[in-house]
A and B are shown apart, each in its own frame.
Chain A
Amino acid sequence: MISNGKSKTVIELHVNGDSHEVMVRSGDTLLDILREQLGLSGAKRSCENGDCGACTVLADGKPIHSCLSLAIESCDQSLMTIEGLMGSPIQQAFVDNWAIQCGFCTPGFILNCHALATEHPNASDEVIEEWMCSNLCRCTGYQEIKEAVQSVVRASGNA
């Protein structure tokens, strides 16, 4: 049985292919620990309520809101943050399609889209929309984001 008392405990998180020891309270969210102990600030803190998707990370390949996970429950998962996705096709697609304005939502969108392209290389528009509903863009650049996402999903589907 995994357990953690009320005091801080050292746990191991597996992030972007590396293992890191971090010291957590049970009440620390995954978002807290990624940003504050591992310096992985790509996951953004915004609503902390599951509404905006700015904090998206991949847990065993699935996009989740890191604000709604405890760090302690994530220690048996393989985590990926935007810092682990350097030079990927979806990042280039966002550049090519001008899908970035202030950039605050971008890491979340990119990780979500990366997971989508991996799981559904031939995703229909309906599936793309279903997945992308998890992320909000305050700058409202949805059309460009949609085009970037479609270009990558189509490209990987044709590969």
Chain B
Amino acid sequence: MIPFDFEYYKPATVAEACETYRTLQEQKKSVVYYSGGTEFITLARVNQISADAVIDLKGIPEVQVLEMQGDQFIVGSAVTLNQIAESRLFPLLAQTVRGVADHNSRNKITIGGNLGSRLSYREGVLPLLLADCKVRVAGGMKGEGERVVSLSDVFDKQLNLEQGEFLLQILVDKEYLDLPYVHLKKTKQSKVDYPLVSVAALVKDKEIRMAFSGICEYPFRLGEIEEVVNNTTFARKEQLKQVVGKLPAAILDDLHGSAGYREFVFRNVVQETIDALEWAQK
């Protein structure tokens, strides 16, 4: 049971969602977008989040789309992680989200919620960062409708949308769907757990691209790391040392794993990933 009272709205169209948001704002109410709702319920139950109103986006048809449209793979923001895993239209994305949480939870957790999560992992974003994808965003206070932007314009460490905006769809170009890929997730003990390190990688134009979660306090893809990874003049030991040196933030040091242990796992994972993809670079 959530200990505070809030209003619940489930609009049936984008326009209704935008209008509801603006009306609630005018009434000076705090509003949270709600998709799978698992994070909202978990945090609200223990008073770590509060809201006067939630807007449940699941009733909007555009956020439920999961299909090829021409040369683009379209994923609605309220598509569940299991739906993505089962569709297999983008195998790297399917495998990555299949590693998030447990099967029951994945029937509820959505890709939009995963990207918008307050937790540091947001593993679903990793393949999307590699695939240079675009996102369709709606809402906002100015009422200017929808916009399509590069994911990297609105996702840096976390999803950074304008006030009142929400993610409608993710658009992935067809050319990225069938590239050689690897996803590895290492947890401390149990199969179902937050990652010590999670890496998604693919090879485009003979270059390995890699994105990481778990190692630092946010998920990231970094050109400098990819330069080192693709530099074949380095001996492997030196290469791994350089990759660790390029990490964009301190290595996480918490109950799931000490910084030292995480670094050890990270080196192994990077090595394993390069070994697995070397063939595709030739």
Contacts and interface: CB of A to CB of B under 8 A. Distances in A.
A28 B6 CA distance: 10
B103 A131 contact: yes
A68 B42 contact: yes
B10 interface: yes
Given A1-B20, A27-B44, A134 B104 contact: yes
B38 A27 contact: no
Interface in A40-57: 48-50, 53, 56
Contacts of B42: 49-50, 68
Q: Interface size for chain B: under 10, 10 to 19, 20 to 34, or 35 or more residues? A: 35 or more
Interface in A118-144: 130-131, 133-135
Interface string A13-52: 0000000000001111100100000000000000011100
A26 B102 contact: no
Contact of A56 (B8, B20, B38, B104): B104
Contacts of A1: 9-12, 16, 20, 59
Given A70-B37, A73-B56, A65 B105 contact: yes
B37 A5 contact: no
Nearest to B107: A62
B102 A133 contact: yes
A24 to B, nearest CB: 9
Contacts of A67: 41
Contacts of B98: 130
A53 B102 contact: yes
A112 interface: yes
Interface in B73-124: 82, 98, 101-105, 107-108
A25 B16 CA distance: 22
A32 B45 CA distance: 12
A28 to B, nearest CB: 6
Nearest to A75: B10
Contact of B107 (A6, A48, A63): A63
A65 B45 CA distance: 15
A158 to B, nearest CB: 24
Nearest to A55: B104
A72 B5 CA distance: 13
B185 interface: no
Contact of B2 (A3, A29, A53): A29
Contacts of A29: 1-2, 41
A7 B82 CA distance: 34
B206 interface: no
B222 interface: no
Contacts of A156: none
Nearest to A59: B107
A53 B107 CA distance: 13
B54 interface: yes
Candidate in B2, B16, B59 with the most chain A CB atoms within 10 angstroms:
B2
B49 to A, nearest CB: 12
B276 interface: no
A151 interface: no
Nearest to B5: A6
Contacts of B241: none
Interface string B11-27: 11000100010000000
B10 A3 contact: yes
CB-CB nearest 7 A-B residue pairs: A27-B2, A134-B104, A26-B8, A2-B10, A134-B102, A6-B5, A4-B8
Interface of A: 1-7, 25-29, 32, 48-50, 53, 56, 59, 62-65, 67-70, 72-73, 112, 130-131, 133-135
Interface of B: 1-12, 16, 20, 37-38, 41-42, 44-45, 54, 56, 58-59, 82, 98, 101-105, 107-108, 191-192
